[in-house]
Amino acid sequence: MKKFKLFFNIVEEEQWLNKQLQKGYRCTNISGLGIYTFKKTNKAYIIRLDYQDFLSANKFEEYKTIYEDFGWTHMKGSRLGSIHYWQKTADSQNEIFSDRQSYVQYYKRLMNYSLSLAVTFLMISYTVYRDSNLYETKGLWDMEGSLFWKAFLFETPFVIIKLIPLIMIILFGINYFKAYRQYSILKEK
């Protein structure tokens, strides 16, 4: 079974994947385009997501080995700074983080991840909006009647596409503040 779903929040993605596992579908592949492949299973599985910044080749192998020693299977993720997907048969140890400090560091990495994506889209927005109007048709606002509506409706999908970077800034900004809130709560305990 294949499902298409886009996520902008790692925590929500992990929750959705675990709901699929509870329905009896084990994740077998995750594409970069939001296509998840599932296979029916009778075993209980658990999946956890982690974000890691750039890791050297040695650190990456060490990172994978630590989790694999505890029975986790690395499904996806690169050493160049990415989300890592870990899956294993459910048992008494279903968490990849062993203590509060590990969770604090996890949320700190999520904050950095969200902030870096928001800044990237901010730079893209600057280049998109620097020298242009949202609606590019000359004299659009002076047109009347059906001619105005035809030109306006024709150009609106292009305006929506131009707004995607701003939407992404908002989404990743929200993710930053969600991670910051969890980070603050854990840091204070």
Q: Which residue is it, tokens 């870096």?
A: 116
The C-alpha atoms of residue 130 and residue 120 are separated, in whole angstroms, by 15
DSSP code at position 32 = T
Q: pTM here?
A: 0.80
Domain limits of the chain?
2-89, 100-188
Q: Which residue is it, tokens 């131009």?
A: 162
φ/ψ (deg, to 5) at 52: -125, 140
pLDDT at 125: 86
pLDDT at 133: 79
Which residues, 6+ apart, have CB-to-CB distance to 60 below 8 Å? 79
| SS3 annotation, 41-79 | CCCCEEEEEEEEEECCHHHHHHHHHHHHHCCCEEEECCC
- As averages over each run of 10 residues, the pLDDT of the chain (189 residues) reads 90 94 92 90 92 92 92 92 91 86 92 93 86 81 90 92 90 94 87
The C-alpha atoms of residue 51 and residue 47 are separated, in whole angstroms, by 14
φ/ψ (deg, to 5) at 3: -135, 140
Listed residue (109, 45, 36) closest to 72, CA to CA: 45
The C-alpha atoms of residue 31 and residue 8 are separated, in whole angstroms, by 15
The C-alpha atoms of residue 7 and residue 5 are separated, in whole angstroms, by 7
At residue 151, the 3 state secondary structure works out as helix
Q: Which residue is it, tokens 């991840």?
A: 113
The C-alpha atoms of residue 104 and residue 113 are separated, in whole angstroms, by 14
pLDDT at 139: 86
pLDDT at 87: 94
The C-alpha atoms of residue 179 and residue 55 are separated, in whole angstroms, by 22
